[in-house]
Every structure is written in C-alpha cells, then in structure tokens.
C-alpha cells in the first residue's frame, strides 16, 4: 500500500513539473502574486493593478497642493491710485488677488485695469455705478451687471464672472439675475474697514490677525493707506506659507468651483 501511494505522489509531481515547464517564464509566479494581492485588498475603482503605482505620485502631489493654506484678498471700488502698488506687491511673491471694478471707473483707469489682467489677478464686477442692488428692480439689476461686465471686457479683454455687490447687499432678484448671467456672488468674512480706519498699521494688523485658510478679505484699492498696508501684508502672508489667490481659484481649490447666483463668504 505504501509503495502504491509513493508511486501516485511521484506521478503527480512529475505531471506538475511538466505543466510548469510549459508556462512562459514568470507567468506562474505572477499569477500567484496577483491572486494574493486581490484577496488581500481589491484595487480601488476597478483599476488594473499595473496602474496603481503610476497613480500614487500624482495623487500625492495634488494632496500637497490642496493642503497649502490659501487666502483671497479682494479690492473694491477701483481701479484706483493704489491698484498698481498692490499689483507690484503681489508680483513680488507670485501672488494673485481679486479686483472688484466699478464699470464707470474702468475707462478712466484703462491702463491700470489692463495691468490687473496681465498680472494674472482676477477681475470682478462691482456694478456699473455702485448702487445698493437690493433696492433695484430686476431690469435695473440686469442693466448694472450687463453694462459693467461689457465695460470691463471692452477695456481688459476679460469677462468677469464674479460679482462683489456694493455694501454686500443682495436679494433673490440679484441672485436670479446672476444665475442667468453665470455670475458668482462673492462677499467676505474679514472686513478691514480700511475706508473708515485709514491707518496702514491698523489695516495690516487686522489682516494678519484674521488670516485663515479659505478667508476672503475685503479691502479697497482707492486709499494710499491700504496700498501701504498691503505692501507689508502680502509679503508677510507669503512668508507664513499662504498662497494668495483670486476668489475663483479659492472656490475651485476648496469647493470644486463656485455656483452662479450663490453667495460665498469664505471657502
């Protein structure tokens, strides 16, 4: 009985050796390894196993970029005397901001408005004549936005798709018109009150004390005190590791993009 059992095992081993020899080099080993990996953890999203190592570096790089703190400085009522100083400060740190332009001022500051676009900062509309939009009819709101957008685009070549409503004042009518025009509404969660304070140190300290990832900061580029404060604030924020971005870039990175007609205070 033992002799027959030994012969049976020997025949089985020989047959297995013949089968392994018929396989291409490495195939049997690869199948065993792949089966073990599949049992241990199925590949995410049904991706072939061979693709997983190539996807890891890109995913890691994206995670690092998204983890960097971002802040959006915004400047209302311009273009104005302080716009170019702020642009130079941003350029020094490869930063961007959002300049919310009044349509009636763009022609008078055409070269400055074009410099904003050329520097890479974002241009938003701050209406044509700076009214309280919540007090206007639908036709008046539409006229304010369409005419200001046309004025900015004519001078700069850029069609703004962000509205900074004067006084932060909105209504369902404003939101509906913005939805139809494809315009995002950007308010703020940090107000420097630079129009009232008019002190560079106070403005600087307010920005730095309230800087947070995802913050939208309200300033004005009409005042020399604001420009002086921004020359220091921009450099300090960059030194602290912040990416200085426009509102649209902030919303894209933090929320996957802004929705037309929706009001954003931060991201």
Helices (H), 68-109: 83-92, 103-106
Catalytic residue among 76, 161, 194, 221: 76
Question: How far apart (Å, rounded) are the C-alpha atoms in residues 120 and 136?
Answer: 33
| 126 classed as catalytic | no
* Cβ contact 222:251 at 8 Å: no
The number of residues in the chain equals 267
| 76 classed as catalytic | yes
Among residues 77, 176, 177, 169, the alpha carbon closest in space to that of 128 is found at: 77
Q: Say whether the peptide bond before residue 79 is cis (omega within 30 degrees of 0).
A: yes
Question: How far apart (Å, rounded) are the C-alpha atoms in residues 238 and 87?
Answer: 14
Helices (H), 47-159: 52-67, 83-92, 103-106, 110-119, 138-156
Secondary structure E strands in the chain: 70-78, 98-101, 122-125, 162-163, 184-186, 190-191, 215-220, 243-244, 263-264
Catalytic residue among 77, 161, 220, 221: 220
* Cβ contact 256:230 at 8 Å: no
List the catalytic residues.
76, 220
């Amino acid at each position: 009985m033992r002799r027959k059992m030994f012969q049976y095992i020997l025949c089985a081993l020989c047959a297995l050796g013949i089968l392994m020899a018929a396989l291409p080099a490495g195939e049997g080993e690869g199948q065993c390894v792949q089966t073990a990996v599949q049992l241990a953890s199925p590949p995410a999203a049904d991706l072939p196993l061979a693709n997983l190592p190539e996807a890891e570096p890109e995913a890691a790089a994206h995670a690092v970029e998204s983890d960097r703190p971002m802040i959006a400085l915004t400047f209302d009522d311009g273009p104005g005397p302080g716009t170019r100083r702020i642009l130079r400060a941003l350029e020094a740190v490869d930063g961007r901001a959002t300049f919310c332009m009044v349509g009636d001022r763009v022609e008078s500051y055409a070269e400055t408005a074009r410099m904003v676009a050329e520097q890479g900062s974002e241009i938003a509309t701050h209406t044509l004549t700076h009214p309280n939009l919540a007090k206007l009819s639908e036709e008046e709101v539409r006229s304010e936005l369409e005419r200001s957008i046309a004025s900015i685009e004519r001078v700069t070549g850029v069609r703004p798709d962000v509205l900074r409503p004067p006084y932060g004042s909105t209504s369902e009518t404003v939101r509906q018109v913005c939805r139809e025009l494809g315009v995002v509404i950007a308010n703020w969660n940090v107000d420097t009150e630079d129009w009232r304070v008019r002190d560079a140190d106070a403005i600087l300290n307010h920005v730095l004390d309230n800087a947070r990832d995802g913050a939208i900061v309200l300033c004005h580029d009409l005042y020399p005190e604001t420009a002086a404060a921004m020359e220091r604030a921009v450099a300090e924020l960059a030194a602290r590791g912040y990416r200085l971005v426009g509102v649209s870039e902030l919303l894209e990175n933090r929320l996957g993009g802004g929705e037309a007609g929706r009001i954003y205070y931060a991201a």
